[in-house]
Structure 1
Amino acid sequence: MICKDHLVSGEKFEILSHEPGILKTHPVPDELENYYESEEYISHRDSSKSLWDKIYQGVKSHMLSQKAKWIRSEIKQGNILDVGAGTGEFLNKMNSFLWKVEGVEPNRIARDLAILKGLDLKSDLSLIRDSKYDVISLWHVLEHIPDYEKKIDQFYDLLRENGILVIAVPNFNSYDCKYYNHNWAAWDVPRHLWHFSRAGIQQKLSEKGFLLLKEIPLKFDSFYVSLLSEKNMPGNTNLANAFLRGLISNLKAEKDGEYSSIAYFFQKKPK
Structure 2
Amino acid sequence: MGHDIDFYKDLEPFLECKDYTVSEEIYQVMVNKKYDMLVTVPVPKNLADYYKSENYISHTDSKKSLLDKVYQIVKNITLKRKLKLIDSFKTSSKNILDVGAGTGDFLKVCQNNSWKVLGVEPSLEARNIAAKKGIILQENISEIKNIQFDVITLWHVLEHVENLSQYISTLNKLLSKNGKLIIAVPNFKSHDADYYKEIWAAFDVPRHLWHFSQTSISKLFSSENMIVEKIIPMKFDSYYVSLLSEKYKSGKMNPIKSFYIGFVSNFKANSTKEYSSLIYILKKGE
- TM-score normalized with structure 2 length: 0.91
- 5+ residue gaps in structure 1? none
Query: For residue 26 of structure 2, what is the aligned residue in structure 1?
Result: 12
1:62-104 deviation per Cα after TM superposition (whole angstroms, max 9, x unaligned): 1011011111112356101000000100001111110100000
Map of 2:168 onto structure 1: 152
Aligned ranges 1:46-195 → 2 under 5 Å: 46-75=61-90, 78-195=94-211
State the alpha-carbon separation in 2 of the partners of residues 167 and 44 from structure 1. 19
Count of residue pairs the alignment pairs up: 270
Q: How far is 1:203 from its partner?
A: 2.0
**CA–CA separation in structure 1 for the residues paired with 2:66 and 2:269:** 29
1:33 aligns to what? 48
Contact 1:134 1:160 in 2 (8 A): yes
Q: For the Cα contact (< 8 Å) 1:23–1:194, is it kept in 2?
A: yes
- Give the counterpart of 1:215 among 224, 231, 238: 231
Q: What is the DSSP-based 3-state SS (H/G/I as helix, E as strand, rest coil) of the residue aligned with 1:43? A: helix
Question: What do you get for the CA RMSD once the two structures are aligned?
Answer: 1.2
1:259 aligns with: 275
Provide TM-score, normalisation by structure 1. Answer: 0.96
Q: Which runs of 5+ in 2 are unaligned?
A: 1-14
The CA deviation string for residues 200-228 of structure 1, in whole angstroms up to 9 with x for no partner, is 11222122211212111000000000011
Distance 2:153 2:97 in 1: 6
Which SS does the other structure have where 1:233 is aligned?
A: helix
Superposed CA deviations along residues 27-83 of structure 1, whole A, max 9, x for unmatched, are 000000111111011101112233432222111011011011111112356101000
| Partner SS, residue 98 of structure 1 | coil
Answer whether contact 1:162 1:269 (CA < 8 A) is retained: no
Give me the whole-angstrom Cα distance separating, in 2, the residues matched to 1:237 and 1:64.
Answer: 25
Shift of 1:234: 3.6
**d(CA) in 2 for partners of 1:45 and 1:260?**
23
1:157-208 deviation line (CA, Å, top 9, x unaligned): 1111021110000000000000000010000000000000111112221222
Q: Which runs of 4+ in 1 moved over 4 A?
A: none
Q: Find the residue that maps to 2:165 and give its secondary structure.
A: helix
Separation of aligned partners in 2, 1:172 and 1:222:
11
Q: Would you say the 8 A contact 1:215–1:264 is kept in 2?
A: yes
Which secondary structure state, in structure 2, belongs to the residue aligned with residue 81 of structure 1? strand
* Cα distance, 1:238 vs structure 2: 2.1
Distance 2:18 2:70 in 1: 26
Q: CA deviation at 1:105?
A: 0.1
